[in-house]
Structure 1
Amino acid sequence: MTAVAASADTAVVVEQPDLPRRYAGAIGLGTLLQPLNSSMIAVALVQIGLDFHAGTETQWLVSGLYLATAIAAPTAGRLADLLGARRVFLTGLVLVALVSAVAPFAPTLGWLIAARVLLGIGTGAQFPSGVAMIRGMADRRKASAVGALGLLSIFAQTSAALGPSIGGFLVGTFDWQAIFIFNLPVAAIAGISVLVLVPRDPPRQRDNSRSIWREIDLAGLVLFSAAMTALMLILLSLAGQPLWWLLAVAIPVGVLFVVWERRVATPFVDVRLLATSATLSMSYLRTMLTYVAFYAIFYGLPGWLEQSRKLDPSKVGLVVLPIAAIGALTVIGATRLARSRGPGPLLLIGSAGLLVGGSALAFGVHSGTPIVVLVLISAVLGIPNGFNGLGNQLAVYSAAPAEETGAAAGLFRTSQYVGANLAAAAIALVYSGPATDAGLQRLGYLVVGIAALLLVDALRQSRSGPAAA
């Protein structure tokens, strides 16, 4: 396998062995939990609402997990960098198992929402700590991490594709409680696999607890959590009655957070690095925009298929399945390309594919479009997912310092969830009511606009040469 190091004038190809797949396989089982729990709940909301005599309040079962994960992911990543990635990964699995065991017995919807928040904290730990484990093992073995990160992308794409189907089967065969119980064997298998296959964390120097808390930067963590909570609540409210007054919290707390992080020796988020590393900052912005487009399609297209194309939910699931399924398949080709060329070509292909798919929605789809054409368009929309997902992940991985890999991966996850919530607001705005042909066309225009911006950035990156991974 190869890694590519770029300089201003030349690109030097260095032969590196691939990190054994057993490591990424064990870690990937744990990272399945977050996308599965994000998607399985969608098919359980109606039944949960009936059981608890609730209406739109059930949406907080979705939003609560998103909010918790957006904050927990960078927190877990920072803890992984300081205390040990394997240790944080396993702790997250234990929390997932405990919450999943008690959630089916929640006496009220409020308690169930609280359980989903805790579940978001637990599942938010796996990806950043998993990437930190991969980085550590790859550096110690002087191996390439591209194949391992590609395998994590395949796990993510596959679980996104299968989540609604698994959830539908569990709810239909048993009841909504089963989507929580399902986590128990997954967490157990993932935990045992990591314990058996993944090496222990390197020994940490013996520091007193006061020194450790200083390194964690509790003040920075609290300020980040407060600012991110306010921001996410604003984004979640955009589809209904926007909570603009929360800007009075988000902006000053955000400014205070930046000022504080610039002054402390071991910041929770290295804002100085973000200010000086345009590559890393642009990678987070790019990830956010990519997921605005992805979730706008992934959630906006099914609504149109049901309301305008008049398909029943089972057929809707089959029509949109290629979006995630093809995305999982394209990761294989993207991984091979990334080994020799870095993330640049992946982002170029992904952006161009998104532009083509968005154009198809904007100019080639209406309520009379044949099913086979809709399936083909879904397949086209799936192509950029694998390339963009792995390309953005590798861009962040390559730009982040090795000692901050966990925190960087956590912020990568947070960027995804900010994009997801912006997409929810965008869907509400472009449809402005029922999902009509005109609304889908506007959705296509949105995707085309985002894809054009991403394509310009990808062309800029391609001129700077390949990056190491």
Structure 2
Amino acid sequence: MTDETITVRGHTRTAGFDRRLVPPMILGSVLNPINSTIIAVALVPIGTAFGAPSSQTAWLVSALYLATALGQPIVGRLIDIFGPRRLFLLSTSLVGVAGVVGTLAPNLGVLIAARVLLGFGTCAGYPAAMALLRSEAKRTGRDSPAGVLTTLAVANQTIAVVGPLLGGLLIGVGGWRTTFALNIPLAAVAVTLGALRLPRQPSVRTAARGGPAAQIDLPGMGLFAAMLFSLLLFLMNLRTADWYLPVVAVAAGAGFTVRELRAKTPFIDLRVLGGNVPLLATYGRALVAYVVSYAFLFGFTQWTEESYGLSPFHAGLVQMPMFLVGIAVSVAIGRRGGVLGKLLLGAAGQIAACALMLTLTAGSPLWALLALGVVFGVPQGANNLGLQNSMYFQADPQRTGSSAGLLRTFAYLGAMIASSATAASFGQRAGTAGMHHLAWIMLVAAVLYLLITVFDRSLRRLSTEPAREA
């Protein structure tokens, strides 16, 4: 059925979802994954250029994760208050600045700082996209963004496929600095599209008048940052010498809880969030799902290189079936109604993949590794969609941006746990015994994901809602 059109201030707009918003939404949301994946092939040449060991270049990965995990819920909350346009333009501009800093970096320290800027600069893309979906649903009266959510999921998974390949091409043409310079034109296009197509928000009143600026809970944001930063630092490198970090995290968490329960306009409304058990379950599912996903990406890839004997290039090719199947699954189920079926499919895929991983040895045929990638592709596609749909329908409409940011934060918490589990399982070398130990940890997380899903009765209500075109 053709959408009706309406005229606003002399401009004709469709009464359905405004498709002009899709390009900036996609570009904004892929800025983070492209910088997360492209660095994988740049670590070795960067280390060679600066004479830095892998223990130091690893901070190029961790810096982006830390900044993004911290920044997404904070930027998401600011999007809830000020609207997506302002934060989108500011953040994507910061991506361009980070590209310049990284391209010209004279040493590793400046390069790490550029990755921190990239982490904060890419924070607005996903929360802004979710907020735009919510505002379009309110404008059109159609609260069903299945088509756009599918497009976002496919775009992010496609970037995961082409990121390392693009990075290798850029490095071959112009060296590792080109992987940072890429952000300059990407940011320029994103800012231009955002300025031209994102809807303008009403002017923000001053805090003295009780307007949106008065809703910024700086103490709450500061305590949240201290809690999460300490926790993530501890998870990144589990050592008894860092015992004080979880203590700091607990103390900051206690202060954060007291502050948020007393604040008139809290950063994270713990009363509402605590009463929203379905959304909390979704965050829990995201955490354990990404423990499984990132443990496979980190751990299995190391094993294929160190024990199975594949080159880094061929180890990357072994991952290709997972991403390609993930894209196919997303397209196939993206427009189907409900989320329970997607989540159950993802749970079954995770359990099957972990069980298959336990059967592999250094003498397994190559087709067995490729088959594992195919099986892992099923939850890769199903879980991303299921989690996005769940969060969208379960979150407080007034806090869609911060809720979307928190979903990503829990995903990065899962990534950090996966990294620590991989290090603990392998020790000095990624052997087969360590890979099997990691697979058991992944299997426990996968079973926990299934249990959280099966016993969440709220998902059945979401599954009764028919999918309509976004």
SS at match of 1:309: coil
1:115-172 deviation per Cα after TM superposition (whole angstroms, max 9, x unaligned): 1111110011211122111211122112221211221111111111221111111122
1:261-319 deviation per Cα after TM superposition (whole angstroms, max 9, x unaligned): 01111111111122111111111111011111100001111111111110111111111
What is the alpha-carbon distance in structure 2 between the residues aligned to residue 179 and residue 463 of structure 1? Answer: 44
What is the alpha-carbon distance in structure 2 between the residues aligned to residue 248 and residue 391 of structure 1? Answer: 35
State TM-score, norm by structure 1. 0.91
Question: Contact between 1:344 and 1:461, CA under 8 Å: does it hold in 2?
Answer: no
1:121 maps to 120
SS at match of 1:433: coil
What is the alpha-carbon distance in structure 1 between the residues aligned to residue 191 and residue 40 of structure 2? Answer: 26
> Which one-letter code corresponds to 2:348 in the other structure?
A
Question: Contact between 1:21 and 1:148, CA under 8 Å: does it hold in 2?
Answer: no
What is the alpha-carbon distance in structure 2 between the residues aligned to residue 435 and residue 208 of structure 1? Answer: 55
1:217 maps to 217
1:444 maps to 439
Question: Contact between 1:78 and 1:268, CA under 8 Å: does it hold in 2?
Answer: yes
Structure 1 alignment gaps of length 5 or more: 2-16
Cα gap change, 1:315/1:462 in structure 2, threshold over 3 Å: closer, same or farther?
Answer: farther
1:101 maps to 100
1:427 maps to 422
Question: Contact between 1:35 and 1:156, CA under 8 Å: does it hold in 2?
Answer: yes
SS at match of 1:466: helix
Q: Larger deviation: 325-334 or 395-404?
A: 325-334
Task: Return the match for 1:391 from 386, 394, 415.
Answer: 386
SS at match of 1:320: helix
1:66 maps to 65
**CA shift for structure 1 position 434:** 1.4
SS at match of 1:107: coil
Cα gap change, 1:157/1:242 in structure 2, threshold over 3 Å: closer, same or farther?
Answer: farther
**CA shift for structure 1 position 204:** 4.7
What is the alpha-carbon distance in structure 1 between the residues aligned to residue 208 and residue 40 of structure 2? Answer: 42
1:25 aligned onto 2:23:
yes
1:49 aligned onto 2:44:
no
1:356 aligned onto 2:352:
yes
SS at match of 1:336: coil
**CA shift for structure 1 position 456:** 1.7
Question: Contact between 1:35 and 1:159, CA under 8 Å: does it hold in 2?
Answer: yes
1:142 aligned onto 2:138:
no
**CA shift for structure 1 position 173:** 2.1
What is the alpha-carbon distance in structure 2 between the residues aligned to residue 417 and residue 242 of structure 1? Answer: 23
> Which one-letter code corresponds to 1:49 in the other structure?
G
Percent of pairs identical after alignment? 39
SS at match of 1:465: helix
Please tell me the root mean square deviation across aligned C-alpha atoms, in Å: 1.9
What is the alpha-carbon distance in structure 1 between the residues aligned to residue 91 and residue 325 of structure 2? Answer: 30
Cα gap change, 1:285/1:463 in structure 2, threshold over 3 Å: closer, same or farther?
Answer: closer
1:6 maps to none
1:191 aligned onto 2:187:
no
Q: Larger deviation: 212-221 or 191-200?
A: 191-200
Deviating above 6 A after TM superposition, structure 1's stretches of 4 or more consecutive aligned residues are none
2:162 maps to 162
1:316-374 deviation per Cα after TM superposition (whole angstroms, max 9, x unaligned): 1111112222112211122122xx2x211111110011111111001x21111111221
2:181 maps to 181
**CA shift for structure 1 position 457:** 1.9
What is the alpha-carbon distance in structure 2 between the residues aligned to residue 416 and residue 246 of structure 1? Answer: 21
Question: Contact between 1:220 and 1:257, CA under 8 Å: does it hold in 2?
Answer: yes
> Which one-letter code corresponds to 2:91 in the other structure?
G
1:270 maps to 269
State TM-score, norm by structure 2. 0.91
What is the alpha-carbon distance in structure 1 between the residues aligned to residue 437 and residue 17 of structure 2? Answer: 44
What is the alpha-carbon distance in structure 1 between the residues aligned to residue 300 and residue 209 of structure 2? Answer: 51
What is the alpha-carbon distance in structure 1 between the residues aligned to residue 103 and residue 208 of structure 2? Answer: 37
Give the 5 Å matches for 1:288-307.
288-307=287-306
Question: Contact between 1:234 and 1:242, CA under 8 Å: does it hold in 2?
Answer: no
Cα gap change, 1:462/1:345 in structure 2, threshold over 3 Å: closer, same or farther?
Answer: farther
Cα gap change, 1:275/1:181 in structure 2, threshold over 3 Å: closer, same or farther?
Answer: same
> Which one-letter code corresponds to 1:294 in the other structure?
S
**CA shift for structure 1 position 205:** 5.8
Cα gap change, 1:310/1:205 in structure 2, threshold over 3 Å: closer, same or farther?
Answer: closer
Give the 5 Å matches for 1:326-345.
326-337=325-336, 340=337, 342-345=338-341
